[in-house]
């Protein structure tokens, strides 16, 4: 900033000197012309010419001053960028040296960073405001915004939070086009998203060496207990080898299809996304080396990645999306996402015993609840038969039968690698007319059929 100060002083001196010089010339000229007896017309003509010359000089000086000011602003901007880059490098060095290292020993072992994936939404401020508003601790939950696309207006919005709320803003460096055959060019956005996710996760787990990460996108609102939920379930993720993620999302979480019991949590074979947590060991040990070129979320749902493991998911979503437009062109938003119920109450999960979610405890209890419930058809459920029964089961046999009954009951009817959304051991749980419904296979179910799609 010393260079900037010297240039400003130089500018003031030049302006002052220029004004004094012009004033002195004008006074001298006027004095000399008045001392001579010259015709009035000649004097006026000379004075007019002199004023014209002065005007040209002032205009010229003004342009030079304008250019100088622009140069000074550029210097200031470059200095600011250098300072931010230096600060980022110092953070990285601190992480690598161990002074701010997460996931190794001591207190930093419980640090859970929030990684926000951003691109070109200037409404990113809405998502950041919620993350900051509900965050109980900046040291336990550092926020890192990873931006793709090189969109300057969005970058400017994010930068306002860097100094004011001490968030970290990193930028995906590879903005190159991805060469695709003609029949795949319409999917280029999904290729770029997968590339960005890979780079951002590398930063979290390789550069910063954090033990785990909570991943959100730039169009998500979070619930008041968002951080509480992930903090309380993180020990389960570390303890249970059959868990590989925690998600804030319920794909069937529409209004009227969820219980009012916001504390209810489940295991699911389906990878939900939309606000999710994984740990460093899973990413570096399995996912990093084979990360896909596109459709990363469907890739996560494949048996080759899931390996029979489950995620924890809530009854009521802890995130909701306001991003109507994206690579999916808003179609999924209008048909489904805008109807999702968003949790608005704080549930103190950290004060609860969540050990029931461990597989050894969960499975016997789950099977008993499902297969002891009376069986109804989808139409009987809709018509309210056996209304005194608060838990009922609808049985499906085969792919087409599942899809037909799912449509009648109002839940999502698609599969990913043979797994229905939110299913656990083939069972999908939801609410209809204020009672629990399990859409379930026969008790003899032996596993998912990956040909179901």
Instruction: Yes or no: say if 418 and 452 are a contact pair by the CB < 8 Å rule.
Output: yes
From 421, 415, 410, select the one nearest 400 (Cα to Cα).
Answer: 415
| Four-point Cα dihedral 190, 321, 411, 371, nearest 10 | 100
Of the candidates 307, 236, 329, 233, the one whose C-alpha atom is nearest the C-alpha of residue 275 is 233
CA distances in angstroms from 370 to 310, 316, 336, 386, 443, listed in the order given? 18, 20, 27, 16, 9
Nearest alpha-carbon partner for 4 in 68, 81, 65: 68
Are the C-beta atoms of residues 219 and 322 closer than 8 Å to each other? yes
Please give the backbone phi and psi of residue 383, each rounded to the nearest 5 degrees, phi first: -85, -5
Residues marked active site are found at 297
What residues contact residue 348 under an 8 Å CB cut-off, 6+ apart?
225, 228
Please state, as a whole number, how many other Cβ atoms lie within 10 Å of the Cβ of residue 368. 10
- Give the β-pairing of 243-247 and 310-314: parallel
């Amino acid at each position: 900033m010393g260079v900037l100060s010297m240039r400003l002083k130089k500018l003031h001196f030049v302006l002052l000197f220029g004004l004094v010089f012009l004033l002195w010339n004008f006074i001298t000229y006027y004095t000399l012309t008045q001392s001579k007896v010259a015709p009035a017309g000649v004097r006026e003509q000379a004075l007019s010419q002199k004023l014209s010359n002065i005007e040209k000089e002032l205009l010229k000086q003004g342009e030079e001053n304008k250019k100088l000011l622009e140069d000074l602003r550029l210097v200031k901007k470059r200095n600011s960028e250098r300072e931010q880059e230096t600060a980022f490098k110092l953070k990285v060095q601190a992480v690598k040296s161990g002074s701010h290292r997460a996931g190794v020993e001591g207190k930093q072992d419980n640090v859970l960073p929030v990684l926000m994936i951003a691109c070109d939404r200037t409404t990113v401020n809405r998502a950041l405001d919620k993350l900051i508003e509900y965050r109980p601790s900046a040291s336990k939950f550092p926020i890192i915004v990873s931006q793709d696309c090189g969109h300057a207006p969005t970058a400017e919005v994010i930068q306002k939070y860097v100094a004011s709320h001490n968030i970290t803003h990193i930028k995906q460096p590879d903005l190159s086009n991805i060469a695709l055959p003609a029949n795949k060019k319409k999917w280029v956005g999904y290729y770029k998203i997968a590339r960005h996710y890979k780079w951002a996760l590398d930063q979290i787990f390789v550069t910063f060496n954090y033990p785990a990460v909570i991943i959100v996108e730039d169009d998500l609102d979070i619930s008041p207990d968002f951080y509480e939920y992930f903090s309380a379930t993180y020990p389960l993720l570390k303890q249970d080898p059959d868990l590989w993620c925690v998600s804030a999302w319920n794909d069937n979480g529409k209004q009227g299809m969820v219980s009012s019991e916001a504390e209810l949590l489940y295991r699911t074979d389906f990878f939900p996304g939309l606000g999710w947590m994984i740990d460093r060991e899973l990413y570096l040990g399995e996912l990093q080396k084979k990360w896909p070129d596109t459709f990363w979320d469907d890739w996560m749902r494949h048996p080759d990645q899931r390996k029979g493991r489950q995620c924890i998911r809530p009854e009521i979503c802890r995130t909701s999306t306001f991003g109507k437009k994206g690579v999916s062109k808003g179609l999924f938003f209008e048909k489904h996402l805008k109807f999702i119920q968003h949790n608005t109450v704080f549930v103190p999960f950290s004060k609860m015993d969540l050990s029931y979610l461990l597989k050894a405890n969960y499975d016997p209890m789950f099977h008993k609840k499902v297969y002891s419930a009376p069986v109804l058809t989808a139409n009987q459920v809709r018509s309210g038969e056996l209304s005194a029964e608060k838990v009922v089961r609808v049985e499906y046999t085969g792919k087409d039968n599942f899809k037909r009954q799912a449509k009648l009951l109002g839940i999502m009817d698609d599969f990913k690698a043979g797994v229905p959304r939110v299913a656990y051991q083939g069972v999908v749980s939801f609410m209809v007319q204020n009672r629990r419904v399990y859409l379930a296979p026969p008790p003899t179910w032996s596993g998912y059929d990956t040909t179901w799609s």
